[in-house]
Structure 1
Amino acid sequence: MTWNRLRRPSLVLLLLTALGGIGFVLRADEPSSSTRDGTPLKEKAITQEDREHWAFIPPSRPELPEVLDKQWGRNPIDRFVLAQLEENGLAHAPEADRPTLLRRVTFDLTGLPPTPAELDAFLDDPAPLAFERVVDRLLASPQYGERWAQHWLDLARYADTDGFEFDQARPDAWRYRDWVVGALNADMPYDEFVRRQLAGDEIDPDDPQSFVATGFNRCYPDMVDLNDQKLRRQNALNDITETTGLVFLGLTIGCARCHDHKFDPIRLSDFYRLQAFFTPARFRDDYPVAPASVRHENERQVAAWAADLAALEAAILALEIPLRKQLSLGLRATVTDEVVSAYHKPAAERTPQEVKLLFDTLEKDRRIKSEVFGLLLGPDLASIRTRLRARLGVVQKSAPAALPQARGLDEVGTSAPPTHLLRRGDFYNQGPEIDPGFPAVLASRASQIPVIQPNARSTGRRTKLAEWLLESRNPLTGRVMVNRIWQRHFGRGIVATASDFGMMGAEPSHPELLDWLATEFVARGWSLKAMHRLMLTSATYRQSSRNDPTAFQADPENSLLWRHARQRLDGEAIRDALLAVSNQLNRELGGPCVFPELPAELTKLSSHGAVWPVSRNREDQNRRSLYVFVRRNLRYPFFEAFDRPDTNASCPVRSVTTIAPQALSLMNSKLALDAARGLASRIARDAGPNPDARIGLAYRLALGRTPRPEESELARRFLGPETKESLTGFCLALLNVNEFVYVD
């Protein structure tokens, strides 16, 4: 079945009628949805044509196409690619040579260059499955998780600071980064990977790592000093909703925050229905990460301490709140609903948590000075208040030692606060209350608003959202993820707009292949490593990047994959390669962030190290780029030169520019100069005094191959009567050739 025939309405109706199903049913034009009380919402209808968009039709497993060349293909991927090449009269490129293949796949899976020993082992292995063994070895490497975590963190808009004016540090954000690395290395099935990040606290509430996984939702930029804290929370919910749509569904859901989407069949109500899954969430920065026994003992100590604290705070509030009411000084308008509720409760009914919340809020209200309270209370009560506050100071300082903490989401009960549709996205212009629900174009009228069963500790809303995303008939989740993997290995996704599968996104270059991969992904248990292996061992991946003028004329963008796409390394991989070839790379896994040295001119921005406190240990400075502190308002300059994305938003595809600072960074930066010196020392030590041996090792370390005769001759002439300085200069030149930063 070809793609054009699949798009015909009659076959689409036939296909979906046969599937039946929960939520994913093609229907005729439908009226607008309604609010919680049944009031109709005036919004655009979802039409038959909307539902026929290719991305909203559940993937069906296509038959493998017939091809003329029966010898080339290594797995089903090649049949789909070759069928389109033959249909367009194009030929595939020959297979790349082994050094090129090894360098390509090693950078793809680990972000590091192959070593000379790995090159020799591959070249000396005559077995037909030698390359497959290389792929398996790299997938089993701890460096695989580090490399692919960076791709996921781009999507998650991960950073170690809040952003905005003060850009405060998030000292425990790195725990989420390490969770991603661990999950990828363990080949956690993608469906579980999604569930844990959306609802880990609901799925396994006693597992600290499941809570850490929900840190995905806490990576948003945050204006912590915003006057209206309710608006601050709403901004966070907006960001979480938008990112969920982009990352898991590949849809620009956020465009419907203020009005119905201009291009996609996504309504204003769809945005807020999706947001309602997250409305009950509590944003925690203090979740204790420790074994259950340790955590329970600490919780007992903290509870006893908090009870003492609450008793003192309650006694102080009992003295001060009547005076506030007497002076008609109520709460400020910007406080949260939880504070308002606690304020109006009788004192005896407030929980210790409510007492603390209310006390902390009123402490920030400076409209009444402390001495005024003393005058109004009179000498006896003022004396009691003074003693209470003195005792409070002592108790506050006696808090139990804090356990390691993490950022994430959890919930405090089985009921949820209301979610309101916001007119024009304006927090101060609330519309009707609506229930959690799925985008109408992806659900039938009957299934758009799901039945959600609360569990013992939470509403269960985010668990239900994860279940729907991972439904076998969900048309987007599987397609979006296999497309992201394809994009990283082939330079561009089958759908070039990796986070926009909507009406304005690119159509798939190989639609049947995309559907086959999506169904194969599920069939292989959502295993990411299985999909890597499938793609990497295809003949399509093994092609040379050699240009064919005839093919280029017909398909200049290589959409049909008649050759392998040459790709430039990102800044993190270039820095790691510089450290690796110079034998300086510290391969320690995980842990808190590190701070490499900044250029001298940028250190002036640092207030005695507050902005960028350089790590004292040199080995820490030389850890992998994944562990470099990610400051939103001050990107590490080397990464910024090589197109490190803005961490204020999800990034599906990094820009690739060619600008002067890149060449300047590779030629003149301290990082590059130290790498050249380190590489020269390594060559002098390991290759001995023979010039040819030194040149050969330099090429094998830096470029993953032996030098061609003309390159050896040019190198000998450059080195001349060799000195330490000439060898360092040669190494610096080698680190500046295009081949060092590009992968064929």
Structure 2
Amino acid sequence: MRPLQTPLQAWLFAGALLITLGAAKFAIAGEPARIDFNRDIRPILSDSCFACHGPGTQEAGLRLDSFEHTTEWAVVAGDPDSSEVLARVLSDDPDYQMPPPSANRPAVTPAGAEKLRQWIAEGAEYQLHWAYLPLKRAEPTAAETDTWSRNAIDRFILAKLATQDLRPSPEADRETLARRVYLDVTGLPPTTAQLDAFLADNRPDAYERLVDSLLESPRYAERMATWWFDLVRFSDTVGYHGDQDHRIAPYRDYVLKSFHENKPYDEFTVEQLAGDLLPNPDLWQRVATGYNRLLQTSHEGGIQDDEYRAKMMADRVRNVSEVWLAASMGCAECHDHKFDPISQRDFFRMGAFFADVDHYASFVPIAENTSPAMRPPEMLAWTLPVYEQLQKIDAQIAELEKQLSGKMPSPDKTPELMKKLTEMRHQRVDLEAKFTPTLVTEAVEPHEVRLLPRGDWMDKSGEVVTPATPAVLNGPASDENSRLTRLDLARWLVSGEENPVTPRVVVNRLWRLYYGSGFTKTLIDMGSQTEPPTYPELLDWLALELVESDWDLKHVIRLMVTSSVYRQDSAPRYELQDLDPQNRLLARQSRMRLEAEQLRDTALQVSGLLKHQFGGGFAYPYQPEGYYAQLAFPERDYQASQGDDQHRRGVYTHWQRQYLHPWLLAFDAPTREECTAQRPVSNTPSAALVLLNDPSFVEASRALAARALTEPAKPATDDARLRWAWREATGRQPHRDEVAALADLLAKHRDHYAAEPQAAEELLAVGVAPRPEGVATAELAAWTSVGRTLINLSETITRD
């Protein structure tokens, strides 16, 4: 509900309105701004015209998405009155007007019609869609009085705000800022010790030092891996039919390792799409090709080979186009795209890049003397814990061999070096036995790819096609003597100047992580149906910064989270309610609910239960009994992890596509059947019940209660313990009324559990974490209720 205005607020608002109206009158009286096709005209044509007169469909032979295709009578450059398009748009005759009422498309508004008139009068200049234009670096202008800006991001934002007579919000307090950047960069809130260390750091660059330390942490890699897994639909199960497990864990560890080591994004791309085609690929580069196996498939024995070959080719085209190009090519499987210049032929030519990784062309025997199985190739690979141990042992072996190959030591020194070397070599052999099978890509002879009319895999009448990128993108060309490969595709995707789309896509998605919304809201589609970016020059500036830094993701992220724009307070402002209700101009920071994995990770962190192991096997959090009852072929009995594995981060959770964990479902995590560039955010009673009753959150509440009863300095009163627990959960000191409310809750539940000892025992029996010694059952149960409340606070589950 909008707050009531005081007389002073009303007077100030009226004054601001008069100033704004005066500026508007001045603009109207002066020279009108020149029309920009991508900003002003393309959205009108896309909404109202392209469905019938776009790249996919040309009713009456008319196409309006480019001047070279538009007939002369439709758009007469320089002469709006002779242009049939404008006459049709302005007509109120249902038999003549465009779009016709039967088309179910929005009519062009009077303001839109006036823009069309001005555009035609100015020469009807067309532009390639903004996402496909070459990257162009425009340097932001800095006002002489600008003491606020820290980098180019700030100068771009500040210049735009000035055109709206707006100023940025003040900087957030240090506690809020620290919690924000911890959650954004690592996916975890700071511990109280970490928060206190930052608050005590009075150096001028304390915040920048904090950001650098977070970017170097393995926790950053775990947070980024979750982002990437949504895009590439990483899962531990096949998806179709029985949704059985498939072996892919080392690919997950490859992604973790790549983000931790800041592997350049271009190398990261090439290795996943075509690591097997690199000269002498190492083990990790081969593991990376597991990307090509992440799609849905089936282990059912009666499937049709041609059908699944078509399914999987289409799946790969959809994912590659959405992950790297933000181009929704999926509809072009059956027909030319109605809104973007992507043809059905483009779709199948893109699919032909993957004709050499076809699932059913890669037969590997299950065992000797058995027929080949319809399954993709696997190899034995490392997980990160084994890899780290191998590195240490290899370093020790190398040092011992160096000592033995140098000046010969005494014979006795020689009981000792040879014995140690033998032990190290035996340890290495033992570690090699712990290698894990993982799905990979091994190129085979490419099978024939035909254009399938209407996407029908049984229709063999379509033309045979060879690999190529969509024509509008001017990708790599083949000659008569060579065939383009996945390696050509991968290198073109991250070529920068030749393909400006990918760096824009990456920057747009990173911007959403740290500011709440992308430069353009639709993160999975940069086609003609999406909105133009709010800050196009800044988008290009950052995209070029990414390319020119050799695709250094940490460099771009550091620019984003050290800017003054990022550091702003997120409190709503009255003057922005109508002007910028979705905070697209960024005159303040955004508030965002934590993602599903972050919610559980936060609960484990504040409770002290979180166990860090970088990489390794999957974790199985507590789950309702019988939840997998409908899974067959084979039947499965879910076994929750025991010990430390139960308390690992969400990025390691076993991902069952058909039966995603209820906690993940309640908080909008995707099943990962398709690319997900942005998760929805819902607000449901089920989500609140998960925070209150899911065993992971109940156990975390009990552990937080145990900490409150045992960790604060003695003597600890209820008041001191409540204040301690509040700060552990939220990262700030509580207000007096907040402590009073918790105290009332604590007293009520002390009485309840003292009278109901069985209920207290049942509550405390949840989870595998040990109970503290010497604490009364009713007392621990009452404090567990306080913990459940703190973990369920909106402030706890929200960034800012």
The question of a shared fold, defined as TM-score above 0.5 by the shorter chain, is answered with yes
Instruction: Say whether 1:663 aligns with 2:700.
Output: no
**Offset at residue 402 of structure 1 (A):** 11
Check conservation: 1:598, 1:636, Cα contact below 8 A. Answer: yes
| Aligned pair partner of 2:130 in 48, 54, 65 | 54
**Offset at residue 730 of structure 1 (A):** 1.5
Q: Which amino acid aligns with 1:637?
A: P
Map of 2:785 onto structure 1 = 729
User: SS state of the match for residue 441, structure 2?
Assistant: strand
529-538 or 701-710, which deviates more: 701-710
Q: Distance in 1 between matches of 2:308 and 2:252?
A: 24
Map of 1:186 onto structure 2 = 261
| Aligned pair partner of 1:520 in 545, 556, 573 | 545
Check conservation: 1:266, 1:441, Cα contact below 8 A. Answer: yes
Instruction: Say whether 1:481 aligns with 2:509.
Output: no
Instruction: Say whether 1:71 aligns with 2:71.
Output: no
Instruction: Say whether 1:244 aligns with 2:320.
Output: yes
Map of 2:287 onto structure 1 = 212
Q: Distance in 1 between matches of 2:680 and 2:608?
A: 30
| Aligned pair partner of 1:407 in 432, 439, 442 | 439
Check conservation: 2:621, 2:641, Cα contact below 8 A. Answer: no
Structure 2 counterparts to residues 571-590 of structure 1, below 5 A:
571-590=596-615
Structure 2 counterparts to residues 592-631 of structure 1, below 5 A:
592-600=617-625, 602=627, 604-605=629-630, 610-631=635-656
**Offset at residue 404 of structure 1 (A):** 3.1
Q: Deviations over 1:589-635 (max 9, x none)?
A: 21221212212352655789953531452321221111111001111
User: SS state of the match for residue 193, structure 1?
Assistant: helix
Change in 2 beyond 3 A, CA 1:285/1:544: farther
| Aligned pair partner of 1:472 in 496, 500, 504 | 496
User: SS state of the match for residue 405, structure 1?
Assistant: strand
Q: Distance in 1 between matches of 2:678 and 2:487?
A: 29
Identity %: 37
Check conservation: 2:309, 2:358, Cα contact below 8 A. Answer: no
Q: Which amino acid aligns with 1:710?
A: D
Change in 2 beyond 3 A, CA 1:603/1:194: closer
Q: Which amino acid aligns with 2:265?
A: Y
Q: Deviations over 1:337-359 (max 9, x none)?
A: x9xxxxxxxxxxxxxxxxxxxxx
Map of 2:296 onto structure 1 = 221
Q: Distance in 2 between matches of 1:714 and 1:737?
A: 13
Q: Deviations over 1:211-260 (max 9, x none)?
A: 21112221111133252112212211110011100000110112211111
What number of residue pairs does the alignment pair up? 601
| Aligned pair partner of 1:507 in 532, 542, 553 | 532
Map of 2:42 onto structure 1 = none
**Offset at residue 7 of structure 1 (A):** 4.6
| Aligned pair partner of 1:118 in 177, 182, 194 | 194
Map of 1:137 onto structure 2 = 213
Q: TM-score, length-normalised on structure 1? A: 0.76
**Offset at residue 121 of structure 1 (A):** 0.8
586-595 or 488-497, which deviates more: 586-595
Q: Distance in 1 between matches of 2:362 and 2:644?
A: 30
48-57 or 497-506, which deviates more: 48-57
| Aligned pair partner of 1:97 in 173, 178, 184 | 173
Q: Distance in 1 between matches of 2:645 and 2:675?
A: 28
Q: Deviations over 1:160-193 (max 9, x none)?
A: 11112311111x2122111111100100000111
Check conservation: 1:157, 1:651, Cα contact below 8 A. Answer: yes
Map of 1:167 onto structure 2 = 243
Q: Deviations over 1:548-589 (max 9, x none)?
A: 111222111111011111000011111111111111112112
Check conservation: 1:524, 1:530, Cα contact below 8 A. Answer: yes
576-585 or 689-698, which deviates more: 689-698
**Offset at residue 708 of structure 1 (A):** 2.2
Which ranges in structure 1 are unaligned for 5 or more consecutive residues?
10-30, 33-41, 289-301, 315-334, 339-400
Q: TM-score, length-normalised on structure 2? A: 0.71
**Offset at residue 124 of structure 1 (A):** 0.7
Structure 2 counterparts to residues 81-480 of structure 1, below 5 A:
81-170=157-246, 172-225=247-300, 227-283=303-359, 309=369, 404-412=436-444, 416-430=446-460, 431-443=462-474, 449-451=477-479, 461-473=485-497, 474-480=499-505
Q: Distance in 2 between matches of 1:547 and 1:566?
A: 10
**Offset at residue 715 of structure 1 (A):** 3.2
605-614 or 139-148, which deviates more: 605-614
Q: Deviations over 1:104-138 (max 9, x none)?
A: 11111111110011111111111121111111111
User: SS state of the match for residue 739, structure 1?
Assistant: coil
**Offset at residue 416 of structure 1 (A):** 3.0
User: SS state of the match for residue 477, structure 2?
Assistant: coil
Q: Which amino acid aligns with 1:209?
A: W
Q: Distance in 2 between matches of 1:509 and 1:110?
A: 27
**Offset at residue 494 of structure 1 (A):** 0.6
Map of 1:324 onto structure 2 = none
Check conservation: 1:490, 1:541, Cα contact below 8 A. Answer: yes
Q: Distance in 1 between matches of 2:440 and 2:127?
A: 35
Check conservation: 2:618, 2:654, Cα contact below 8 A. Answer: yes
Q: Deviations over 1:255-281 (max 9, x none)?
A: 211111011011111111111111122
1 or 2 for the larger relative contact order (CA 8 Å, sep ≥6)?
Answer: 1
Q: Distance in 2 between matches of 1:51 and 1:468?
A: 23
Q: Distance in 1 between matches of 2:325 and 2:633?
A: 44
Q: Deviations over 1:360-409 (max 9, x none)?
A: xxxxxxxxxxxxxxxxxxxxxxxxxxxxxxxxxxxxxxxxx996322122
Q: Distance in 2 between matches of 1:709 and 1:179?
A: 48
Q: Distance in 2 between matches of 1:508 and 1:262?
A: 22
**Offset at residue 201 of structure 1 (A):** 0.7
**Offset at residue 524 of structure 1 (A):** 1.3
Q: Distance in 2 between matches of 1:453 and 1:403?
A: 41
Cα RMSD after superposing both structures: 3.1
Change in 2 beyond 3 A, CA 1:63/1:616: closer
94-103 or 699-708, which deviates more: 699-708
Change in 2 beyond 3 A, CA 1:742/1:402: closer
Q: Distance in 2 between matches of 1:178 and 1:612?
A: 26
| Aligned pair partner of 2:581 in 543, 556, 564 | 556
Which ranges in structure 2 are unaligned for 5 or more consecutive residues?
1-32, 39-54, 69-125, 377-432, 751-778
Change in 2 beyond 3 A, CA 1:256/1:43: farther
| Aligned pair partner of 2:517 in 489, 492, 503 | 492
Structure 2 counterparts to residues 23-34 of structure 1, below 5 A:
none
Check conservation: 2:274, 2:486, Cα contact below 8 A. Answer: yes
Check conservation: 1:253, 1:266, Cα contact below 8 A. Answer: yes
Q: Distance in 1 between matches of 2:634 and 2:358?
A: 33
Check conservation: 1:7, 1:52, Cα contact below 8 A. Answer: no
Q: Which amino acid aligns with 2:175?
A: P
User: SS state of the match for residue 104, structure 1?
Assistant: helix
Q: Distance in 2 between matches of 1:559 and 1:63?
A: 21
User: SS state of the match for residue 181, structure 2?
Assistant: helix
**Offset at residue 525 of structure 1 (A):** 1.4
Instruction: Say whether 1:533 aligns with 2:546.
Output: no
Change in 2 beyond 3 A, CA 1:605/1:595: farther
701-710 or 184-193, which deviates more: 701-710
Q: Distance in 2 between matches of 1:287 and 1:153?
A: 27
Check conservation: 2:141, 2:155, Cα contact below 8 A. Answer: yes
**Offset at residue 472 of structure 1 (A):** 2.5
